[in-house]
Structure 1
Amino acid sequence: MSALARWCHQHRRLVLAGWVLAILGLAAATLSLGASFRTAQTLPDSDSARAYALLEEAGASSSTTDGTVVWRSTGPVDAPGVQDEIATLLAQVAAVPGVESVTSPYTPEGAAQVNAVERTAFATVAVTDDVDVQQVRDVVEAAAPADLDVAVGGQGFSELPEPSHGTEVIGLLAALVILLLVLRSGWAATLPVLTGVVGVVASLLVVTLASHVVDLDSTSLTMAALVGLGVGIDYALFIVNRHRKALLAGAGVEEAVTRAVTTSGRAVVFAGLTVVVALLGMAVVGLGVLTGMGQAAAVTVAFTVAAAVTLLPALLGVLGDRVLSRRQRAALAAGEVATDHRPGRTPVSARWAVALQRAPRRVVAGALVLLVALAVPALSLRVGDPDASSDPVGSPSRTYADLMTPAFGAGVDAPLVLAARTPDAASARAFEALVAQVAEEPGVAAVRAAPVQDGQTVAVAGVVPATSAQTVETEDLVLALRDDLVPAAAAGTALEVHVGGEAATSHDLSAALMGRLPLYLGLVALLGFVLLVVAFRSVLVPLVGAVTNLVTLAVGLGAVTAIYQWGWGSELLGVGSAAPVMYIVPVIVVGVMFGLSMDYQVFLVSRMHEEWVHTRDHARAVRVGVAETGRVVAAAAAIMLSVFASFGLTPERIVSSIGMGLAIAVLVDAFVVRMALVPALMHLMGRTTWWYPRWADRITPHLSVEGPAPTPTAPTAVPVPAP
């Protein structure tokens, strides 16, 4: 690392030119080739997947999807004037590219699409995958009669979350303000933001180009930017902070750069690799869209690490001592001892380190009570697919749901599908009996099925639930069909029935992901334990790190549950009312937060370990570690909080829930877990904290996270008073 740091400093103009040319080249390639994002449609082996396979086998599947245009009139909805106005509107909709057909409720085929009592009717619009949904909405809005309430919705007109809403700019501005307050130097505050942004921009260009080769959802860009901006700024901050300390100790610019990269740069590489491995580990869940998101975010983290250990040293070399404040530069020029805090005042982190040592039991007790309280909501976590009924009031999708639900029921847009194999007459009769029985079940609004014809080997029935797809009642109906009604009807026959549809698919995806989440949790906990064992040659330090990581994950999931599932603030965030948590959110929060928790653990404990190795004074090692890393860890956590919370302000529920879950988890992890619980536990454990079996020491590879400690040339910049 020292050789890399010296080379980047000595050839700083070449390094800067290399990054600029690389970004320009990637940008040119991206503009030339464009993007090819697509959502991976693969489903885990499940009953709904088998239902769709049976439909495809029978040729019942279609390349089109149905959307809906609904309207409500102040008078009779089938009045001649209304019919004429709607006929004009539907003709314009039919002319939009990608629209295959339109079924009006004023035709014999659409007679069931009218509710005269509610003065509401709807038209079914069959569209292909390449239809421009916004164009359809614009046409309907422009052609809608003034005396009718008209809305567009349904599966065919659903839109994927946009890659970004620009809220990350708020996070970047907040990060810059925090850095200015902490470092008191404009250049020093700008460097971490600049380095993080460069790394993220380069990686997003690479991810966009990779979309031509790998199946990636467009939301992968949002995921990558969310993670990359946070960790990129933090990684650069740790190196800049170490560089400034070396300058304040009297080192020259090149020597300070080398020390920073050799020490904090090593920790950045170690922490970055940990995050990358955790993100790539999402592949064990077995869902293509999640795997793609993890890969995109891992690429971004790798680029931010590369920027931190190459671009940043070059920038530090260009700026020289301007990364220090004017007061610090003046003190150095006068031959005085310069500090990164106000003269004569003990830093807050140093005072906190002493308080921890004096009362570790009370700190542990208080931290545990708070953590348990924040994590309890996670026990009620329910994953699923939120529907339009929980969208913000006034949004197009919510307006559509408010028109459709009173007239046609909450489940009209989320019918279940019974796909049956009927190889003989007995199984056909059994299926018809099943359809008749399902129609009488509580929670079923309607059943649509044609009689099974002679020789027909595949039969299909549509079941319209009385409740929306996101409700517990609809999920219970799916389970009742699969566990009770279908087995009873098929008993003694060759009948084979599978249940599909939106609610059934959501249940199967949720069950598959949540079923594999414990495996993923176990893998990341084991990974964290092994990495910390190798880094610090201790048993208790990795054990405490692994357990506290799991506690942090529980806090993040608890925050998501309380805000988005229970609705404690979801409407204030502009994402609508309470609804199940999207099934990919827990996995993403676990994967990202594990890596970030490991980051703070590494940066905190590595300084303690460094002091322990040189003094063998455990109490001093913990005290110095908290005092000297507390300020920068607090600043890094505040930056991460700002970036994640800015994504939490987006109106897209899935992006908002990931951003807010990570923001709260980072806040609690840094200030409660790393800066309070972990050092307090280490004080209570005493010197046994660093115990390691001799036989394990012989077989464990040696890895120094922060490298050899340099010999100080001046008194430490942060006074650490003894208790």
Structure 2
Amino acid sequence: MLVRIAQIATRYPRAILLAAAALAILCGVFGATAASHLKSAGFTSPDAESSQVSQLLADNFDGAAPNYVLLVSSAAGADAPATRAVGLDLVDKLRARSDIKGVQSYWTAPPAIGSALRSTNGKDALVLAYLTGDETKAQQTAGELTEQLTGTKDGVTVRQSGLAAVFHDVNKQITHDLALAEGVAIPISLIVLILVFGSLVAAALPLAVGIFAILTTLAILRLFTLITDVSIYALNMTTAMGLALAVDYSLFIVSRYREELANGLDPIPATIRAVQTAGRTVLYSALTVALSLSVLSIFDIYFLRSFAYAGVAVVAAAAAAAIVILPAALTLLGHRVNALDIRIPLRRMFGRPAPDPMAPLVPERSWWYRTVTWVMRHSVPVAVLLVALFLALGSPFLSVKFGYPDDRVLPTTAASRQVGDVLRTEFPAANAGNNTTVVLDGYHGGPGPIGEYATELSRVDGVSAVLSSAGIYIKGARMAAGPPGMANGTGEYVNVATRVDPFSPAGKAQLLDLRDVPAPAPTLFGGAAAVNSDALDSLGARLPLAIALIALATFVVLFLFTGSLLLPLKAIVLNTLSLAAAFGAMVWIFQDGHLSDLLGFTAVGYMTPTMPILMFCLAFGMSMDYEVFLLSRVREEWLASGRVVDGVIVRTAADNEHALAVGVARTGRIYTAAALLMAIVMGAMVTSKVSFIQLMGLGLTLTVLADATLIRTMLAPSLMKLMGTANWWAPKPLARLHARVGLREHDADPDRPERVLAGRE
């Protein structure tokens, strides 16, 4: 198949490039509006109990769970005339809008409620509101209101917070940060590509492939928005992965093409051979990455499912461009792919001698060959030390804790973060973002049982107050009459104010205690702690299946690629080791707070749960990218080795070691350069001001770099040396299956036994 594709690409190169340019333009025009159709939510399941509570409150209780908060601050105090005037004006403006419900404030609420809406120092007061519509619409409204209502006038400062405002600010910050990161990553990647290839022409090819992949994926995402919800965060992945994979795949093919030119082939045969060999690697690599990312589709939150859509689309686009479009460009360029080689003037400038022209053709002369042979001579201590190192680095992950993000993922300079800090310290009974809401849907039993239920809820540890239609209760005592509107013809709800961080383990424990309190009717729990619990339960329930599917898909693809039973198992174990080390580092840094001053984030004692899942699928696929690339060349050397005895090729442990050393020597520079380029693209995200984006960027960077250096260059060769010829073993039934269905190019030299037997070798 790949040979036929290469033959078509080399026969009609101009037509293919013109068609690709036209397709890129069409996709760019169609996909240009993709961002405006993406949604900025999707972190919770719509079927979760907490989601049902949010909908019931919105529909039946006038938006009783506020998602937008305005903090009015003045040195003169909340009761000063100027402060009161600003607060009442805010209330009037919010009530005048048809997309806002349930407006409350310190100045307009009943005294028992109003006192909770003033800070303990008396200088701040709150205006609360519920913004209608889905999460995306609410966040857009929050952005509009923030521009219109916040600021400082006559000594009174108004700042925003609440769930809708926080996530609007998070999305705005991420968009800014990633645009800055891409602006840094692309020129640095180009510089590294120039240093790797030497030629400006060769270095430009991966960027062209990346642009094509990104434009195509934007159009595919736009198509997905017509049939399902797609998260706006998937857009960020499109650009980062599109560039990274395009660089990887183009690097593999262009490097093999230049190698075949150096071996004396003409451009067209060299292109066909490059696609036949490196193209096969690209195909398998794309398949493993796409399968890893597609597993995200099993989760029932569209935030993760969107990464499956974007990931599979960008992988397919990058692979197709590398296998079809890139060969056409190479055919037209011919030997000019090496044009504009900047290494020549640089060597002259620094007085460096020209490199040995035979070095690329004799891998035994390379530093990589010497390194791998040294590793294999010391395979046992190298393997033991590296496995111990990875396990030690991964050990902090044993104490991992998960919780959903709040305003503390933002920098302290963000207004919604500043308001969140004030709410946590100055408003112990009115931090709506922390409260738990209990809905008794369909309850009509009167205030008596509700009062008893609220009394028992108020006795739970960490509860500061319970608001119900029967009254306001603190530590088992009724303090005041309940606010109006908590009961109607559809049922009632009870609001539990808490001093506990709802996303922490203590918040989960408190939620379990609240659920254990006997209720006068069936209950549904909502609020931050319930959202966190529902989301973690949903992710945890599907995570084992996701891990099993990734492992199975990886095993099957690598078996079809190598025909070996042990090499796929070895690859899965090594990937797990590198990921465990990265996850351990992330716990040590982001959960425990080490390096928080350096990176500029606030450690809250737990990690955002979706990020490790996303990192796992991404990093597992990327690690297999380098595994496939290395194994493809090692297998090629292995198949070319051995001697024929009685019509059968016999290969020894020495052949295995030689194939390993030559395979790493041929590919080490390339996959290390690919990993460096991937690390530049992913590492640029560490500059973000949002902590969970920093976590993902740093985690992926460490995983990719460790995988391409310690794993592929040292640990994998040492283990493959210890396994000897068993590397290529499979039980006879599986060997027969691979012979029948294994996906393969023409093996290195399929006619070799016949030539040897005929005496020609």
Fold conserved (TM > 0.5)? yes
C-alpha distance in structure 1 between counterparts of 2:244 and 2:662, whole Å: 26
Please name the residue that 1:622 is paired with: 660
Mark the CA change 1:52 to 1:404 in structure 2 (over 3 Å): closer, same or farther. Answer: closer
Aligned partner (choices 589, 601, 610) of residue 563 of structure 1: 589
- Kept in 2, the 8 Å contact 1:392–1:574? The answer is yes
Q: Secondary structure at the match of 1:417?
A: strand
Please name the residue that 2:295 is paired with: 281
Please name the residue that 2:514 is paired with: 481
Any residues of structure 2 matched to 1:418-497 within 5 Å, and which?
418-421=438-441, 425=445, 429-451=448-470, 458-482=491-515, 484-485=516-517, 489-490=518-519, 495-497=521-523
Q: Secondary structure at the match of 2:598?
A: coil
TM (norm. structure 2) is 0.85
| Offset of residue 665 of structure 1 | 1.0
- Asked if 1:84 is matched to 2:117, the reply is no
- Runs of 5+ in structure 1 lacking a partner? 331-335, 712-723
- Kept in 2, the 8 Å contact 1:270–1:705? The answer is no
- Kept in 2, the 8 Å contact 1:535–1:702? The answer is no
Q: Secondary structure at the match of 1:383?
A: coil
| Offset of residue 504 of structure 1 | 0.9
C-alpha distance in structure 2 between counterparts of 1:675 and 1:525, whole Å: 23
Any residues of structure 2 matched to 1:195-234 within 5 Å, and which?
195-234=209-248
- Kept in 2, the 8 Å contact 1:276–1:298? The answer is yes
Residues 618-641 of structure 1: CA deviation (Å, up to 9, x unaligned): 111111111111111111111111
- Asked if 1:138 is matched to 2:147, the reply is yes
Please name the residue that 2:437 is paired with: 417
Greater Cα shift, 387-396 or 84-93: 84-93
Residues 260-296 of structure 1: CA deviation (Å, up to 9, x unaligned): 1110001101110111122111122332321122111
| Offset of residue 435 of structure 1 | 1.2
- Runs of 5+ in structure 2 lacking a partner? 345-354, 472-485, 642-650, 751-761
Mark the CA change 1:436 to 1:263 in structure 2 (over 3 Å): closer, same or farther. Answer: same
| Offset of residue 683 of structure 1 | 0.5
| Offset of residue 166 of structure 1 | 3.4
- Asked if 1:365 is matched to 2:384, the reply is yes
Please name the residue that 1:687 is paired with: 725
Please name the residue that 1:703 is paired with: 742
C-alpha distance in structure 2 between counterparts of 1:342 and 1:120, whole Å: 74
Any residues of structure 2 matched to 1:253-272 within 5 Å, and which?
253-272=267-286
Mark the CA change 1:276 to 1:407 in structure 2 (over 3 Å): closer, same or farther. Answer: same
- Kept in 2, the 8 Å contact 1:421–1:458? The answer is yes
Mark the CA change 1:386 to 1:404 in structure 2 (over 3 Å): closer, same or farther. Answer: same
C-alpha distance in structure 1 between counterparts of 2:463 and 2:121, whole Å: 21
Cα RMSD after superposing both structures: 3.1
Any residues of structure 2 matched to 1:295-306 within 5 Å, and which?
295-306=309-320
- Kept in 1, the 8 Å contact 2:238–2:311? The answer is yes
Please name the residue that 2:74 is paired with: 73
| Offset of residue 324 of structure 1 | 2.6
| Offset of residue 40 of structure 1 | 4.4
C-alpha distance in structure 2 between counterparts of 1:503 and 1:7, whole Å: 59
Please name the residue that 1:609 is paired with: 635
| Offset of residue 44 of structure 1 | 6.7
C-alpha distance in structure 2 between counterparts of 1:187 and 1:668, whole Å: 30
| Offset of residue 654 of structure 1 | 3.2
| Offset of residue 439 of structure 1 | 1.0
Mark the CA change 1:96 to 1:260 in structure 2 (over 3 Å): closer, same or farther. Answer: farther
Aligned partner (choices 613, 626, 646) of residue 587 of structure 1: 613
Aligned partner (choices 697, 700, 703) of residue 665 of structure 1: 703
Please name the residue that 2:394 is paired with: 375
Mark the CA change 1:422 to 1:191 in structure 2 (over 3 Å): closer, same or farther. Answer: closer
C-alpha distance in structure 2 between counterparts of 1:24 and 1:710, whole Å: 42
Aligned partner (choices 196, 202, 206) of residue 182 of structure 1: 196
The one-letter amino acid of 2:504's match is: T
| Offset of residue 243 of structure 1 | 0.5
Please name the residue that 2:162 is paired with: 154
C-alpha distance in structure 1 between counterparts of 2:230 and 2:65, whole Å: 22
C-alpha distance in structure 2 between counterparts of 1:345 and 1:553, whole Å: 32
Residues 668-705 of structure 1: CA deviation (Å, up to 9, x unaligned): 11111122111100111111221222222122344355
Residues 288-322 of structure 1: CA deviation (Å, up to 9, x unaligned): 32112211111011100111011111221232212
- Kept in 2, the 8 Å contact 1:35–1:208? The answer is no
| Offset of residue 245 of structure 1 | 0.4
Greater Cα shift, 372-381 or 102-111: 102-111
Please name the residue that 1:528 is paired with: 554
Q: Secondary structure at the match of 2:503?
A: coil
Residues 552-606 of structure 1: CA deviation (Å, up to 9, x unaligned): 2323322332332222234533444345322211221111112112111111112
C-alpha distance in structure 1 between counterparts of 2:461 and 2:689, whole Å: 36
Q: Secondary structure at the match of 2:701?
A: helix
- Kept in 2, the 8 Å contact 1:78–1:116? The answer is no
C-alpha distance in structure 2 between counterparts of 1:77 and 1:609, whole Å: 75
Q: Secondary structure at the match of 1:708?
A: coil
The one-letter amino acid of 1:192's match is: P
- Kept in 1, the 8 Å contact 2:165–2:416? The answer is no
Please name the residue that 1:715 is paired with: none
Please name the residue that 1:716 is paired with: none
Q: Secondary structure at the match of 2:411?
A: coil
TM (norm. structure 1) is 0.89
Greater Cα shift, 182-191 or 626-635: 182-191
| Offset of residue 145 of structure 1 | 2.1
- Asked if 1:111 is matched to 2:114, the reply is yes
C-alpha distance in structure 2 between counterparts of 1:97 and 1:61, whole Å: 12
Please name the residue that 1:252 is paired with: 266
Any residues of structure 2 matched to 1:32-111 within 5 Å, and which?
35-38=36-39, 39-40=41-42, 43=45, 46-49=48-51, 51-52=53-54, 59-60=60-61, 62=63, 65-88=66-89, 98-99=99-100, 102-109=103-110, 111=114
Q: Secondary structure at the match of 1:459?
A: strand
Mark the CA change 1:418 to 1:262 in structure 2 (over 3 Å): closer, same or farther. Answer: same
- Kept in 1, the 8 Å contact 2:383–2:718? The answer is yes
Q: Secondary structure at the match of 1:178?
A: helix
Mark the CA change 1:622 to 1:657 in structure 2 (over 3 Å): closer, same or farther. Answer: same
The one-letter amino acid of 2:413's match is: G
C-alpha distance in structure 2 between counterparts of 1:641 and 1:92, whole Å: 49
The one-letter amino acid of 1:677's match is: L
Aligned partner (choices 665, 670, 679) of residue 632 of structure 1: 670
Mark the CA change 1:576 to 1:424 in structure 2 (over 3 Å): closer, same or farther. Answer: closer
Greater Cα shift, 75-84 or 563-572: 563-572
Aligned partner (choices 413, 416, 424) of residue 397 of structure 1: 416
| Offset of residue 135 of structure 1 | 2.9
- Kept in 1, the 8 Å contact 2:72–2:159? The answer is yes
- Kept in 2, the 8 Å contact 1:266–1:707? The answer is no
- Kept in 2, the 8 Å contact 1:195–1:308? The answer is yes
- Kept in 1, the 8 Å contact 2:397–2:580? The answer is yes
- Kept in 1, the 8 Å contact 2:198–2:342? The answer is no
Mark the CA change 1:670 to 1:61 in structure 2 (over 3 Å): closer, same or farther. Answer: farther
